Amino acid sequence: MKGVLYVISGPSGVGKTSIIEATLKRVKNLVFSVSCTTRPRRPSETEGKDYFFVDFDHFKKMIQNDEFLEWAIVHNHYYGTPKKFVEDQLDQGKNVLLDIDVQGAMTVMKKAKEAVYIFIAPPSFDVLKQRLINRGTETKENLERRLDDAKKELSYIPVFEYIIVNANLQESVDQLCSIIVAEQLKVKRVIDRLGVHRFFENGGETNEQTGR
């Protein structure tokens, strides 16, 4: 009984963290995968909740020990998804949400075709720029880098299955919750989870018409 893996990407400043936090409060049986990063911690962030903040040597050892499902260099820092946590949770039937950049999403796509890929986009590039400036977490140089990277990230939109245009936080949260729930109601997933016998009188014999 495996859970569903949801991969969320989108440019820095688009509002992923707020959407994800609200969604985690609303959807049952959904857990967030906390990444490792070499980026310095922001004052608002908590170790183990937002990220595991590690130094480069530690990160390098984790790469060597094959401890990441994926990792990438994003805005000049290393970020990676610890593999064991994700696998354990999925094996226990929990649904897992990743917030990773498009490079990471491409790596996961090669390994987990059955995962659900969701892109969060800004209403426009100008809105994104203004949000990043208002957030006030970046130096001028970092801001320029994040905006350059955002242009590249937006070019990957066609590779994703779903897109949420984040013009309004509440609507975006509703949309993400809808995607998550709808994916769990796909016939294949329900039958994998509950067993086909649940729905048929013949107790799980193959259905003659569908062959399933």
Ramachandran angles phi, psi of 47, nearest 5°: -60, 130
We find the least distance from the C-beta atom of residue 195 to ligand 5GP, in angstroms, to be 34
DSSP per-residue codes, 48-102: TTTEEE--HHHHHHHHHTT-EEEEEEETTEEEEEEHHHHHHHHHTT-EEEEE--H
Assess contact for 153 and 102: CB atoms under 8 A.
yes
We find the least distance from the C-beta atom of residue 80 to ligand 5GP, in angstroms, to be 5
The window from 52-60, 75-83, 160-168, 204-212 that contacts ligand 5GP (CB under 6 A) reads 75-83
Nearest residue (beta carbon) to ligand 5GP: 104
Structure tokens at 187: 């016939």
Q: Considering CB under 6 A, how many residues would be counted as binding ligand 5GP?
A: 15
Which listed residue (3, 15, 80, 122) binds ligand 5GP by CB under 6 A?
A: 80
x/- letters, 29..48, toward ligand 5GP (CB under 6 A): ------x---x---------
Assess contact for 34 and 49: CB atoms under 8 A.
yes
Q: How far apart are CA 86 and CA 99, in angstroms?
A: 12
Which listed residue (101, 121, 172, 196) binds ligand 5GP by CB under 6 A?
A: 101
Tell whether residue 79 is a contact of ligand 5GP (CB under 6 A): yes
Coil vs helix vs strand at 163: strand
Tell whether residue 104 is a contact of ligand 5GP (CB under 6 A): yes
Residue identified by tokens 């897992």 is 96
Q: Which residues contact 150 (CB under 8 A, 6 or more apart)?
A: 11, 12, 13, 125, 128
The window from 68-76, 128-136, 173-181, 187-195 that contacts ligand 5GP (CB under 6 A) reads 68-76
What is the contact surface with ligand 5GP in residues (CB under 6 A)?
12, 35, 39, 70, 72, 74-75, 79-81, 99-101, 103-104
